Amino acid sequence: MKQWLANAPMRRKLTALMAATAAVALVLAGLALGGYEVMTFRRTLAQKLTTVAEIVGRNCTAALAFGDRSAARDVLNALQAEPAVRSGAVYDRDGHLFASFAVSAGAARPSGALADGVGTRFERTTVIAVRPIVLDGERIGTVLIAAALDELWTRVFVFASVMLGIVVVCSLLAIALSAGLQRSITGPILDLASTARRIASDGDFARRAARAGHDEVGTLVDDFNHMLGEIQQQDRQLRVHQEQLESEVTSRTSQLVAANDRLTVSVRRAEFYAEQIGQLTAVGQLLQSCQTAAEVYGVVKHAMGKLFPSDSGALSVLNSSGNMLEAMTAWGDLSPARRVFAPEDCWAFRLGRPHVVSEPGSPLRCAHAAGLEAATTVCVPLTAQGESLGVLHFSFAATDADKGQAAGTADSTRGKMATAMAEQIALALANIRLREALRNQSILDQLTGLFNRRYLEGTLERECRRATRAGRPLSILMLDVDHFKRFNDMWGHDCGDTVLRDLATLMRTHFRGEDIACRYGGEEFVLLLPDSPAEGAMKRAEEFRIAVHNLAVQHRKQTVGSISVSIGVASLPQHGTSPAALLESADRALYQAKHLGRDRSICAEVVPRLTESLS
Amino acid sequence: MICCRRWPPRLAAGWLAALLLAAAPAALHAQRVEEYRLKAAVIYNLAKFVDWPDEAFSDPAAPLVVCVLGNDPFGAALDETLKGHMIGRHAAVARRIGDVSPGCHVLFVATSEAKRLPAIVERLHDASVLTVGEMAAFTDQGGMIGLTTESEHVRFEVNLPAAERAHLKISARVMALAASVRRTSEREHKP
């Protein structure tokens, strides 16, 4: 019901409400009227019955007084004239039945108990009137008359039927009437609703609802129209803003697209650069790990083929005398016509900075570039630590990557790459040269890892002076591998090297940290033992000689035959005070040891000081 | 159950039963006593249905006098019936008289005075006195109420013209109970 009230159309709701109101009013009025009718009827009936009882009582007075039952019966029989009366009875003063009357045998005869009260009493189907019979102010009996209530119920039924008919007819009339009348109320509201629906469906805020009158609905329509006006205005403003916003979005989008394009290009370039940097780094690492110049040339040829796939070029290096440049390697399709040229033939070498020629047939093109002509030729000098080492020459073919920039300029991508490569190559070449120079000046013996002879000479001189100054002993052992030539002859050169390396290793482990072991040359070693007198030195020499016997050198998975050494021992100051004298003494002692049959230690003979000072 | 008992039918029935069971002379006597008790009651009740003119009473509170002329057949019954009772606004009183005298409202003419009846009627003329008798043809001789006995039931006859002449109004309700009502004067009846 609630749901229906909420959802039903207003027209139907109004009609139903009106009809329901009319029906309720009618039913209530009918009930009131019916109730009043019933009450009135009851009262009338009661009065009538009381009157009848009174008359009967009066008429029976004499009969009762004289005890004439038949006379009383005659009076009661007169009640037949009243159709509603069912029965009647007269009781004497003692309450005994005196005379009675009944319409039919089955009709209820009022009981004696009822005679007690006086008045009217309503039962379900009957109404009973009781009146006293008074003679001369004295109650001589009671009359009691019962009437059926059939008429009352008949009346009630008829009344209810009529009322029902009236309610139905009136409700129908109310529906018909309200259906017509509600239009005056719902019409404007429905108009307003339909206008609102149309506006909602087509979004046309220029529409206005029509006003029918000046009542609340009229005010509502006015407010609605006012609201529509405001909405229309706001809608217009919104549209303007929207258009502005759209144009702004469009322009911003195009800006964004442009920025994005730029960014994409930048990213692509950055990626390209990153890749090139990676390749450059890799090439740089390769170059720095090259041991020889020839390796550098190989790496350069390979790397250039990868870094500059479409270009040709050559690497020319200044010779040791510094008067000629020689092309050491070349790459690409073109190859230089001249492999050797004078430093003057290259502008870049002369200027000490990259030289770029983009114009074909330009007189500024380097002479050595003949045969390498392309769109752009670039010469980059190889310079390291202020020294010019050579020239890196490029012949760049025109490519898409260089479009939009000064093709082939030193600042271009390939130009930067070329410069970077030149720096790397120059550094690598300089490193190799430095390494070679260092090797020449080295203090270590390459084969054994022991100190070399030059270091020994310097150190021995220094140690001799220090020992002399401090008055401390110093001994040297001169050591030679016995029959070393045999190893080389029997097992090859490698075997001799292995023997020497193993012997060096034994020395390093056998002697103390402050002792200095040197390879004196060939299979000859010198051991410098600071703070060690001749006796101690001899002892240690012997110990080492014995230890050598246990040395088992493995060569090509074979144990090389027994190794022995001969040792000459010389000590400061008794065997000499100068390094040369000491070495000589030790050498003599070694010679003596060899002479005596090898595999032994011999201490040098004491040299008289005078002699030494003289020599 | 209402007021005190003065004329209880049960008592009558009891008496009747007693009479039937008693010996013949005693029973006969008892029957007579009962008969006059009933007759006294009838007289008392009749008086209630009769309206006397105001002049019949010296004042409104004056008693209503029931006179018995001649040999009194009632014994104590009449006094017992009337004693302490009101008829209308008047107290009922019984009185025995030897001759017609003023002051009576009801005059019971005993059977002993049957021969004097026409004289008595003549004497009373139109005086407002209700004449009651039990002799035969009482109403035919000018009496107003004639009492008869029918199978132990006391009934009465009414001479309406005589009553009218005496300005007495007898209630129609009583007349409805009467055995017979004479409505024309005895003279007209007389051939």
Four-point Cα dihedral A47, A52, A58, A59, nearest 10: 170
Cβ–Cβ < 8 Å for A369, A336: yes
Residue of A427 and B25 predicted with greater confidence = A427
- pLDDT (average), residues A65-69: 85
What is the predicted pLDDT for the residue at A336? Answer: 75
What is the predicted pLDDT for the residue at B16? Answer: 55
What is the predicted pLDDT for the residue at A613? Answer: 43
Answer whether residue A360 shows pLDDT above 60. yes
Closest partner residue to B174 (CB to CB) among A62, A94, A139 is A62
Cβ–Cβ < 8 Å for A417, A273: no
What is the predicted pLDDT for the residue at B131? Answer: 93
Record: contact A136-B87, CB cut-off 8 A: yes
Answer whether residue B166 shows pLDDT above 60. yes
What is the predicted pLDDT for the residue at A189? Answer: 84
* Reported confidence tier of residue B43, pLDDT bands at 50, 70, 90: very high
Q: Can you list the domains of chain B with their CATH numbers? A: 9-189 (3.40.50.2300)
Q: A372 to each of A56, A360, A400, B126, how far by Cα in Å?
A: 164, 12, 20, 196
Record: contact B171-A62, CB cut-off 8 A: yes
- pLDDT (average), residues B34-59: 89
Record: contact B177-A61, CB cut-off 8 A: no
Tell me the shortest Cα–Cα distance from A88 to chain B, in angstroms.
Answer: 20
What is the predicted pLDDT for the residue at A242? Answer: 93
Tell whether A135 is within 8 A of chain B (Cβ): yes
Answer whether residue A403 shows pLDDT above 50. no
CB atoms within 10 A of CB A510: 15
What is the predicted pLDDT for the residue at A246? Answer: 94
* Reported confidence tier of residue A438, pLDDT bands at 50, 70, 90: confident
- pLDDT (average), residues A174-182: 82
Cβ–Cβ < 8 Å for A498, A553: yes
* Reported confidence tier of residue A440, pLDDT bands at 50, 70, 90: low
- pLDDT (average), residues A34-42: 88
For B41, the closest chain A residue by CA position comes to A66
* Reported confidence tier of residue A114, pLDDT bands at 50, 70, 90: low
Residue A542 falls in the annotated catalytic set: no
Answer whether residue A408 shows pLDDT above 50. no
Residue of A53 and A338 predicted with greater confidence = A53
Minimal CA–CA distance to A604: which of A596, A273, A583?
A: A583
Phi, psi of A341, deg, nearest 5: -150, 160
Beta partners for residue A530, in sequence order: A474
Q: Can you list the domains of chain A with their CATH numbers? A: 2-158 (3.30.450.20), 290-438 (3.30.450.40), 453-614 (3.30.70.270)
Answer whether residue B181 shows pLDDT above 60. yes
* Reported confidence tier of residue A614, pLDDT bands at 50, 70, 90: very low
- pLDDT (average), residues A109-120: 62
Tell me the shortest Cα–Cα distance from B54 to chain A, in angstroms.
Answer: 17
**B129-152 pLDDT tens trace:** 999 999 888 888 889 999 988 877
Size of interface A-B (CB pairs under 8 A): 41
* Reported confidence tier of residue A584, pLDDT bands at 50, 70, 90: very high
For B171, the closest chain A residue by CA position comes to A62
DSSP B115: G
For A70, the closest chain B residue by CA position comes to B177
Answer whether residue B10 shows pLDDT above 80. no
- pLDDT (average), residues A61-85: 86
Record: contact A66-B45, CB cut-off 8 A: yes
Give percent of chain A with pLDDT exceeding 70: 93
Tell whether A444 is within 8 A of chain B (Cβ): no
Q: B87 to each of A429, B65, B167, how far by Cα in Å?
A: 179, 10, 18
Residue A16: enclosing H or E segment and its boundaries? helix A10-65
Question: Rounded distance, CA A300 to CA A140, Å?
Answer: 163
What is the predicted pLDDT for the residue at A109? Answer: 54
What is the predicted pLDDT for the residue at A181? Answer: 81
Cβ–Cβ < 8 Å for A14, A186: yes
Closest partner residue to A66 (CB to CB) among B86, B87, B177 is B177
What is the predicted pLDDT for the residue at A402? Answer: 46
Q: A365 to each of A346, A348, B184, how far by Cα in Å?
A: 9, 10, 194
Chain A positions in Cβ-Cβ contact with residue B88 (cut-off 8 Å): 136
Tell me the shortest Cα–Cα distance from B176 to chain A, in angstroms.
Answer: 8
Chain A positions in Cβ-Cβ contact with residue B181 (cut-off 8 Å): none
What is the predicted pLDDT for the residue at A544? Answer: 94
Chain B positions in Cβ-Cβ contact with residue A139 (cut-off 8 Å): 2-3
Question: Rounded distance, CA A299 to CA A282, Å?
Answer: 11
Q: What is the mean pLDDT of chain A?
A: 85
Q: What is the mean pLDDT of chain B?
A: 82
Answer whether residue A261 shows pLDDT above 90. yes
* Reported confidence tier of residue A541, pLDDT bands at 50, 70, 90: very high
What is the predicted pLDDT for the residue at A147? Answer: 87
- pLDDT (average), residues A77-100: 86
Catalytic residue among A523, A524, A543, A605: A523
What is the predicted pLDDT for the residue at B124? Answer: 87
**B68-88 pLDDT tens trace:** 998 888 888 889 888 888 888
Record: contact B177-A68, CB cut-off 8 A: yes
Chain B positions in Cβ-Cβ contact with residue A99 (cut-off 8 Å): none
Residue A27: enclosing H or E segment and its boundaries? helix A10-65
Chain B positions in Cβ-Cβ contact with residue A140 (cut-off 8 Å): 2
Chain A positions in Cβ-Cβ contact with residue B42 (cut-off 8 Å): 66
Four-point Cα dihedral A89, B154, B168, B160, nearest 10: 100
* Reported confidence tier of residue B21, pLDDT bands at 50, 70, 90: low
Record: contact A136-B88, CB cut-off 8 A: yes
What is the predicted pLDDT for the residue at A23? Answer: 85
Minimal CA–CA distance to A529: which of A600, A563, A478?
A: A478
Whether the bond between A573 and the residue before it is cis, its omega within 30 degrees of 0, is yes
Cβ–Cβ < 8 Å for A93, B1: yes
- pLDDT (average), residues A446-462: 88
Tokens of A144: 């009691």
What is the predicted pLDDT for the residue at A75? Answer: 87
Minimum mean pLDDT range among A339-348, A377-386, A402-411: A402-411
- pLDDT (average), residues A483-498: 86
Beta partners for residue A395, in sequence order: A312, A377
Query: Any idea which residue has 């190889």 for tokens?
Result: A382
Answer whether residue B23 shows pLDDT above 60. no
Minimum mean pLDDT range among A98-112, A256-270, A518-532: A98-112
Provide the pairing of β-strand A119-122 with A126-135: antiparallel
Chain B positions in Cβ-Cβ contact with residue A71 (cut-off 8 Å): 176-177
- pTM confidence score: 0.44
- pLDDT (average), residues A265-293: 86
Residue of A519 and A386 predicted with greater confidence = A519
Chain B residues bordering chain A (beta-carbon distance below 8 Å):
1-3, 8-9, 42, 45, 48-49, 86-88, 171, 173-174, 176-177
Record: contact B2-A135, CB cut-off 8 A: no
What is the predicted pLDDT for the residue at B191? Answer: 37
Answer whether residue B187 shows pLDDT above 80. no
For A61, the closest chain B residue by CA position comes to B173
What is the predicted pLDDT for the residue at A539? Answer: 94
**A442-452 pLDDT tens trace:** 788 888 888 88
Tell whether A202 is within 8 A of chain B (Cβ): no
Record: contact A139-B2, CB cut-off 8 A: yes
